[in-house]
Amino acid sequence: MKSLRTRLLIAFVVLCGVTAAVVAGVTYVRARTVLLEKAQVAAVEAFTEKVARMTELNADLLSDRFSAAVILHRGRAVQGGLDPSAVSPELRARVASGEVSWQRVVVGGRAGLVMGMRVSDVEFYSARTMDDEQRDIRELALVAWLAAGCSMVVAVLLALLAARSVLRPVRELREAARRLGEGDLTTRVAVRGSDELAGVAATFNTTAEALERQVADARRFVADVSHELRTPLAAMTAVTDVLDEEAEHLPGDAGTAARLVAQETRNLTRLVDDLMEISRFDSGAAALAPDEVDVAAAATATLRLRGWSDVVTDLHPVTAVVDPRRLDVVVANLVANALRHGGPPVTLTVRGERGQVVVEVADRGPGLDPEVLPHVFDRFYKADSSRARSEGSGLGLAIAWENAVLHGGSLVAANRPGGGAVFTLRLPSGGGR
Amino acid sequence: MRALLRVAALLVAALPVVGCGVQPTEPIGGSPATGAVLYLVRDDTAVPVLRATGRPPTGAQALALLAGGPNAEEQAEGLSSRVPRTDVPITLDGTTITVPADVAALPDLAVTQIVCTSASPGPVTLTGGGHRRGPLTCPL
């Protein structure tokens, strides 16, 4: 498939080529005909005039520097330097009919005009060169080619210009569509003029606007639902905490059920908390509360608080300006994910690196499937689709990623060469944006 | 696009038909040639002489002019005629030429003048003054 630019170029050049060929060609042919006919008529007139002025037969009167003549009396050449075989039999037949006749001939690339007439039993023939006319016609052809060539160059320039004016909005639209596809719903394109491309741009903007509104509505709905769930959940948690404490005193199935309800309520609470957290990110309400933090100490605190004692740590003291609450969330989510899905031992590394603080969480599990890798930070993404439910909310890694981005840092998932997954968090140590 | 290319190809193919430079032609005929060829005498021989007439050449016309003798220009060039000057024209009828004089008494040169001027494709017979000469052909 050829590009739009190539197609425009071809169309322009062909169109211009055809036009130039027709115009230049017709002009050339017409001018050539006129030129030759004028020269022929003049030559024939001069020839008949010379014959009319002759009394005694004298071929010299018909010849000059550019022409040679022969006079035939009863078919025999009697005078003149022109070889009678230079006169074609067709021309002789024509002359025999009584008309003053002429024929253009080309011998060895040189054009000439052979004229003849017959009076009674005397035939006169004169041949003259058409070198001048030939040269003029060659010049004519040269001019025609030049004109055609110049118009071709102009056509190419015009085509490139036209292609640019068409392709620029197309390129902008493509770029905008790509950004929209990557999730930047605020993308709009400039609408220029009122042509079809401007119409497409306007439609694109309308669509993007509608999409943005719908997504915002959906997010607000989630935020509202989460918020509405919090109050009843708080009450439920209070009740299930009591139930949980009393579970061991309850007989058989009732105890199991109480524990189950308590556990599920805790899970639900975490899910709602995570949903609200992510809603804040989506609505842009998430704000940093930066503070100077010893990241190694903060990480140790996170592990201690969660009771994760079997995590291998390699902590170098690094100070960075980060939001301590969010750092805690990120580290906790990454370690929880490693403990849940990876294999032991889980390693937590903190180190400084040229203006960045690097937090690595690695495990020795099976690692991440290459197909899973690009979706690891997607919301509610299940690496193992057969496992319908996991202990996590399904939002942990997404929240960790959002937090990293909020800090102006990055969070990358990869597989370790020796097996197992590694999540690398990089935050600017000088504070976020 | 494809149609456009096809048109272009057609035009390119048509180029050699028109051709470049000067092309040879078939013989082209113009107006009929005019004038007459008379046979006049120079140094005791009959020579063809062109006379502008403004009309296509015919034997009868040439014979009529011959009877009138050489004009001033021809005389100035030293041409003469042995055919007797008469006001009655020499006429041509098929292969018979009627001369308003006794053909038996005509000099041979005059007879040659008449026969050749008639430009007849075949032999002709001269009559006049009750005599006939011929059939004769132009010896030139």
> Does any CB of chain B come closer than 8 Å to the CB of residue A76?
no
CB-based contact B33 A118, cutoff 8 Å: yes
Q: How many helices (H) and strands (E) does chain B have?
A: 4, 7
| CATH class of the structural domain A4-137 | alpha beta
What is the spatial distance between Cα A102 and Cα A114, in angstroms, rounded to a whole number? 5
| Amino acid occupying residue B81 | S
CB-based contact B50 A119, cutoff 8 Å: yes
CB-based contact A134 B22, cutoff 8 Å: yes
Cα angle B81, B85, B89 (rounded to 5 degrees) comes to 110
Average model confidence (pLDDT) across chain A? 86
Within 10 A of A237 (CB to CB), how many other CB atoms are there? 16
> Are the beta carbons of B83 and B65 closer than 8 angstroms?
no
CA distances to A123, A163, A272 from A171, in Å? 79, 11, 43
Measure the N-to-C terminal CA separation of chain A; round to a whole number of Å: 45
CB-based contact B4 A14, cutoff 8 Å: yes
Q: What is the pLDDT of residues A72-126, one digit of tens each?
A: 988 888 888 888 888 899 999 999 888 899 999 998 888 899 999 998 888 999 9
> Does any CB of chain B come closer than 8 Å to the CB of residue A111?
yes
The pLDDT assigned to A388 comes to 47
CB-based contact B50 A105, cutoff 8 Å: no
The pLDDT assigned to A206 comes to 93
| Amino acid occupying residue A256 | T
Statement: residue A432 has pLDDT above 50: no
Contacts of A100 in chain B (CB under 8 A): 29-33
Q: What are phi and psi of A374, to 5 degrees?
A: -70, -15
Q: Which of A10, A40, A44 minimises the CB distance to B1?
A: A10
Please give the average per-residue pLDDT across A134-145, as a whole number. Answer: 89
What is the spatial distance between Cα A199 and Cα B35, in angstroms, rounded to a whole number? 82
Task: Identify the closest residue of chain A to B49 by CA–CA distance.
Answer: A56
Superfamily of segment(s) A291-428: Histidine kinase-like ATPase, C-terminal domain (3.30.565.10)
Q: What is the pLDDT of residues A237-258, one digit of tens each?
A: 898 888 888 877 878 888 888 8
Domains A4-137 and A291-428 fall in the same CATH topology? no
State what percent of residues in chain A have pLDDT above 90. Answer: 15
Contacts of B138 in chain A (CB under 8 A): 74
The pLDDT assigned to A90 comes to 92
CB-based contact B35 A52, cutoff 8 Å: yes
Which tokens hold the place of A380?
């509610």
Instruction: State ipTM.
Output: 0.85
What is the spatial distance between Cα A224 and Cα A15, in angstroms, rounded to a whole number? 63
What is the spatial distance between Cα B69 and Cα B83, in angstroms, rounded to a whole number? 7
CB-based contact B23 A106, cutoff 8 Å: yes
| Tokens 């039999």 sit on residue | A89
Q: Which residues contact A58 (CB under 8 A, 6 or more apart)?
A: A79
Q: Using a cut of 0.95, tell me whether the model's pTM lies above it.
A: no
Range scoring the smallest mean pLDDT among A281-295, B4-18, B77-91: B4-18
Q: Which residues on chain B place their C-beta less than 8 Å from a C-beta of chain A?
A: 1, 4-5, 7-8, 11-12, 15, 18, 20-37, 42, 47-52, 56-57, 59, 62, 73-74, 77, 79, 119, 138, 140
Domains of chain A by residue range = 4-137, 215-283, 291-428
Q: Which residues contact A384 (CB under 8 A, 6 or more apart)?
A: none
**A to B CB pairs, distance under 8 Å:** 137
Disruptive mutation site among A15, A29, A45, A121 for chain B (greatest number of B CBs within 10 Å): A121
Within 10 A of B73 (CB to CB), how many other CB atoms are there? 11
Task: Identify the closest residue of chain B to A33 by CA–CA distance.
Answer: B22
